[in-house]
Chains A and B, each alone.
Chain A
C-alpha cells in the first residue's frame, strides 16, 4: 500500500545558511495517527512547511499518497489539509468567508462550500461566531477555526502543527475526541505537540526529530516499553518517621507525607501494593511522577546533549 506520506533524505538550508534539516526520512502509513515530536527549533515546522509547499526544500523527495510534490503538486496538495503553527488568515475577514474561500481554492462550488463550512463550524463549536471577523476570536477559537479551514476540502492527510497550543483543558479533550473520530473515519493525521501526554494518548506511531535529524521512528507502544522504570509519587495519610523497606523497589522520601517509588518495567504495580500492605502505610493517592513518554523523551534528548 502506498504511504500517506513518504519523505526521503530531506534537507533544508535556509537562506541565511542555517541548516534546519539534515537529511530526514519519514514514512507514515495510511490511516495512521502519527506524532512528530522534538524540542523547540528541532525542524518540525520546517518539515511541515516543505510538505505543504510553503517552504522550498534544498534536497530530498516528498510524496503524498504516491504523488510527488514536485511533479504532481496539484494532486499532492489536494490530499493535504494543514494547520500551521502560526496564524495565517486575514484578520478582517468573517470566519465563514475564510472557510468558504479556502474551499474555493480547491475548486469546491460556493453553495457546497457553505454547507461544509456550517458542518465544520458546528463540529468545532464556532457556528455562533460565523459572522465574526477573525480578529475578534480568542486564541483557542482562532486555532479551531484554522482546523475547520484545513478540513474544508476533505483532505486524506491532516497535518496539525501544535493543534492544542493555547487551547483550554476542556476544549483540548473535545479536540482529542474530535481528532480520534476523524482518524477512525479513515483520515491520516500527523501532529506535532509539546504535550507528550497528548502524543501518548492519541498517536500510534512517533518520530522524534532533534537538530534536523530523526533520532527515533517507531510505534508509541514500543517506545514506552523501552522505559526502564517508572517513578510513582505516593501521598501518605500520616507522616512516616523512617523510610520503609519495600521489596525490590527503590524508595525515596520527599517529605514526611510523600514518597517516590521506582517500579521496574514488567514488575507490575500490584507488587508495590503488597509491599505497602506489609508495612501498614496508608496511601491516599498515587500518580506518575512524569508522563511516561515525557520521561523517555527527556532521556533521549538529554543523552544527545551530554553524551
Chain B
C-alpha cells in the first residue's frame, strides 16, 4: 500500500475513533470534569487549607497538575481499551483485517484516537482546574509534550489490554488494580520527599511518577526528578509497549483463530 493510501487509512481510523468518543461525550468527557471538580472541592478547598504548603506551593496548586495528568492517563487508556475490545466484540475489527491497511497503521490509528481523547478531556479538566487553582504556565512545550507522550503510552497500553480482554470485566481489571494505584502513588497528592527512604526508592520504580513530575514542572517549575530522565523513561516505555502491541496485532492474538 502506497504511503498516500496509508495516510488515508490512518485518517479514516482517526476520524472514526474521534467521532466515537465525541458521540458519547456524556460518558467520556463529562464524568472526568465532575470527578476533578470533586477532588478540588475536597482536597483543594476543604482539606487543602489545613494541609498548608507543599514544596512552597499552596496544596491546591500543587495537586492540580497531577489531577489533570491523571485524567489524561485514564482517558486515553479507557478510549483504546474500550474501542479495541468493542471492535473485537462486535467483530468489526475484521473490516480492518480484510483490508490492506498495515498493522502499524491500525495501531497508530487507534493510538491517535486515545491521544485525542486524552488531550481533549485533559484540556476540559484544565479549564475546571482554573476555577480552583492558580495555574501559571512555566513551560508550555514541556506541558504539551508530556501530555502527548503520556497519552501515547497509555493508549498503547489500552490496546494491549483490549487485545487480551475476553469479557467486559477484563477491560476494567487493569485500570482498577494496576493503573489507579500507580497513579495515586505517583506523587499526585504529595512530594515523594515526604516519604521514608524505602518508599521513596519504591516510588522511583513507578513510571507514572516521572510523568507527573515532569508535567508539574511544566506548570510550576519544580520537580523531584531530573526532567530528561523523565523523558527517557517515558520514551523507553512507549517503545516497549509499541513493540509488544505490534507483535500481538501481527500475530492476530485474540483476533484471528
- Please list the residues of chain A having a beta carbon within 8 angstroms of any beta carbon in chain B: 14-15, 49, 52-56, 73-75, 77-78, 80, 82, 84, 86-93, 97-98, 100-102, 104-110, 149
Contact = CB atoms under 8 A, between A and B. Distances in A.
Nearest to A150: B98
Given A77-B98, A90-B87, A56 B257 contact: yes
Interface stretch (B9-17, B154-162, B197-205, B221-229): B9-17
Given A15-B257, A91-B90, A101-B16, A53 B8 contact: no
Contacts of B16: 93, 97, 101
Nearest to A103: B12
Interface string B16-43: 1001000100000000000000000000
A80 B98 contact: yes
Q: Which 9 A-B pairs have the closest CB atoms?
A: A107-B5, A104-B12, A105-B99, A88-B91, A74-B100, A77-B100, A88-B94, A90-B92, A74-B1
A307 B208 CA distance: 68
A55 B1 contact: no
B2 A54 contact: no
A271 B102 CA distance: 64
B92 A105 contact: no
Nearest to B106: A105
B6 interface: yes
Given A104-B8, A105-B101, A55 B92 contact: no
A107 B98 CA distance: 13
Interface of B: 1-2, 4-6, 8-9, 11-13, 15-16, 19, 23, 86-87, 90-92, 94-102, 252, 256-257
B90 A89 contact: yes
A14 B97 CA distance: 19
Contacts of B13: 104-105
Given A14-B257, A56-B256, A77-B100, A84 B94 contact: yes
A54 B95 CA distance: 10
Given A77-B99, A105-B99, A90 B8 contact: no
B6 A107 contact: yes
A106 B90 contact: no
A253 B181 CA distance: 82
Given A53-B97, A54-B94, A86-B91, 18 more contacts: A14-B257, A56-B252, A56-B256, A74-B100, A75-B100, A80-B98, A88-B90, A90-B86, A90-B90, A91-B90, A102-B95, A102-B99, A104-B11, A105-B9, A105-B101, A106-B9, A107-B8, A110-B8
A53 B1 CA distance: 16
B112 to A, nearest CB: 14
A106 B91 contact: no
A82 B12 contact: no
A276 B97 CA distance: 61
Nearest to B105: A105
A85 to B, nearest CB: 11
A254 to B, nearest CB: 47
A54 B90 contact: no
Contacts of B256: 53-56
A265 to B, nearest CB: 43
Nearest to B14: A104
A82 B97 CA distance: 11
Nearest to A55: B257
Contacts of A90: 86-87, 90, 92
A82 to B, nearest CB: 6
Of listed B86, B96, B99, residue having the most chain A CB within 10 A: B99
A102 B9 CA distance: 9
